[in-house]
Amino acid sequence: MPTLLEARELGRCLPLGETWLLRDVSLEINAGDRLAVVGPTGAGKTVLLRALAMLDPFDAGEIRWHNQPVADVEIPDFRRQVVYLHQRPVLWEQSVETNLRLPYELKGHAKKQFDRDRVVALFEHVGRDASFLGKPARDLSGGEGQLVALIRAMQLDPGILLLDEPTAALDAATSRSIEQLVARWFEESSSGRAYLWVSHDSEQVGRIAQQVYQMTAGSIQRA
Amino acid sequence: MQSEYIELTYVEIGLASVLILINGAVSLLLKLRLERSLLLAAVRTVIQLVLIGLVLDWVFDLNRWYAVLLLVFGMTVVAGGAAVHRTERRYPGIYFDAILSVWISSWLMAAFALLVLLRRVDPWYQAQYSIPLVGMILGNTLTGVSLGLNRLGEELSSHRDQVELMLTLGATRWEAARRAVQQAVRTGMIPIINSMMIVGIVSLPGMMTGQLLAGVEPTQAVMYQIVIMFLIASGIALGTLGAVLLSYRRLFNDRHQFCYGKLDSV
């Protein structure tokens, strides 16, 4: 399968300090990869995911997309393909539908159109009907908020999802819903998608991942 | 009406000081604990104004372009610094950004006033016109710049998650920061817009009052005030927009990353 994203010897250290948050991290994400990252708190898992999405500056190494370096001006396009999902869902206070329509206000998604039927089908897949779209985001539970955030990302058809412990604070049923949604997104494309999922739950890792990476003190290795 | 005014002596200053003493006595009586601040503020008012009076006397007498420019340059740097002191959240380079925006906006407005509106002023740098003009524009621009910078820092800080979310969904740095930038510029402009709404109805502006006291005809004083208000509003708009955009460029790098760590790092 073709390589989608490649991190070469990524390094990130604290300003004015000797402490490396990431050190010599090299990783390939190929189409069809279902990867999990595990490791203790503070090992650098979030730092890694944010670096892969090029959300934070890094001090060494490079990120390549389809075997090419990513130029500064291409980074918004890159992030439309490599979407980072926060551990705690970030939502506007308005309705669920407003939150789902939000990305289409961006220049980069202007050619796409919000497909209400498609998102309704996705919500129905996890047991919510169309009326859920009218619900104010402030009234959602943490799990419901995470479902909205995930569907908001999925509807944009990214090539890679970087999932930062999306089920960490959720009950078992909602966690399963999140897993089902990600599996559905993963399987619906013929061109091959991939995800990198940070999780502390070893049973979940067994269900979602074909390859597991262990992070320790900013370094990564295959488990 | 003749351009005459009643000269003040130390006796009148002394009498006016009695008012401050009364205020201090009220503070003591009501245990407001404002007497020390009031005394300090009054003493600073006297010292600062006497000093600037001496400097102005010297510059007015000299009436040379370099003396005028030196004085207004000093005033500009102080104004830029004062704009930053009123902000809650700072980042490396904020002083440069504030001074540069205050400088360019105020000097451009003053140049427009001296070279276009008051083109009969000869020489163009005549201290009688240039210094009060720049002073008024600077004083107001610094308020706009400080309000704008402060609001930008607050907006970006309190909506950090939303800003980052936009970036994760493929927004450009401008798309992610636009709302905060708009709010910041609006906040900087609100005081002058409010002033323009009520000018002449609720209060007479300082310059117009000064001119009336100095014996200038009310129509002329009004015309000067209108011109000054427009110059001030434009100076604030330009200064606030400049400062906010310069901050935005520092807080969002070319890689469309929000450098949140820079905020509060000064």
Instruction: Choose the mutation target among A106, A152, A160 for the interface with B, i.e. most B CBs under 10 Å.
Output: A106
Residue A103 lies in a domain: no
Split at pLDDT 50, 70, 90, the class of A27 is very high
Residue A137 lies in a domain: no
* pLDDT tens column, B209-242: 888 888 889 999 999 899 999 999 999 999 999 9
- Closest chain A residue to the Cα of B164, Cα to Cα: A55
> Would you call B169 and A86 a contact, using CB atoms and an 8 Å cutoff?
no
B259 → chain A, closest CA residue? A56
- CA torsion, ordered A161, A162, A164, A170, to nearest 10 deg: 10
Give yes or no for A220 touching B (CB within 8 A): no
The string of pLDDT tens digits covering residues A40-63 is: 998 999 999 999 999 999 899 999
Give pTM, 2 decimals: 0.87
Cβ–Cβ gap A76/B261 under 8 Å? no
% of chain B beyond a pLDDT of 70: 98
* Chain B positions in Cβ-Cβ contact with residue A80 (cut-off 8 Å): 169-170
User: Which band of pLDDT confidence, cut at 50, 70 and 90, is reported for residue B266?
Assistant: low
Residue A83, number of CB atoms within 10 A of its CB: 24
Instruction: Assess A85–B contact: CB distance below 8 Å, yes or no.
Output: yes
Structural domain of residue A193, as residue ranges? 3-93+158-222
ipTM value: 0.94
User: Per residue in A121-142, pLDDT tens?
Assistant: 999 999 999 999 999 999 999 9
Instruction: Tell me the pLDDT of chain B averaged across its residues.
Output: 92
Left (φ > 0), alpha (ψ -120 to 50) or beta: where does A32 sit? Answer: left
* Residue A143: closest CA among A127, A131, A130: A127
Q: Which residues of B touch A106 (CB under 8 A)?
A: 166, 169-172, 175
* Residue listed under structure tokens 């002191």: B85
A145 versus A190: the higher-pLDDT residue is A145
- Chain B contact for A17 (CB, 8 A cutoff): no
Q: Do A55 and B257 touch (CB under 8 A)?
A: yes
Tell whether the model's pLDDT for residue A190 goes beyond 80: no
Whether residue A77 lies inside any domain: the answer is: yes
- Nearest CA to A209 out of A199, A218, A219 is that of A199
Grade residue B192 by pLDDT with cuts at 50, 70 and 90. very high
Is A145 contained in some domain?
Answer: no
Distance CA B252, CA A153 (A): 23
- CB contact, 8 Å: B177 with chain A? no
Residue A141 lies in a domain: no
Does residue B1 register a pLDDT over 50? no
- Can you give the CATH number for the domain in which A89 is found? 3.40.50.300
The Cα–Cα gap between A19 and A78 comes to 29
Number of domains in chain A: 1
CB contact under 8 A, A75 and B256: yes
Distance from CA of A7 to the nearest CA of B (A): 17
Q: Please give the average per-residue pLDDT across A149-178, as a whole number.
A: 94
What is the arithmetic mean of pLDDT over B58-76?
A: 91
Contact B163, B177 (CB under 8 A): yes
In a domain, A108, yes or no: no
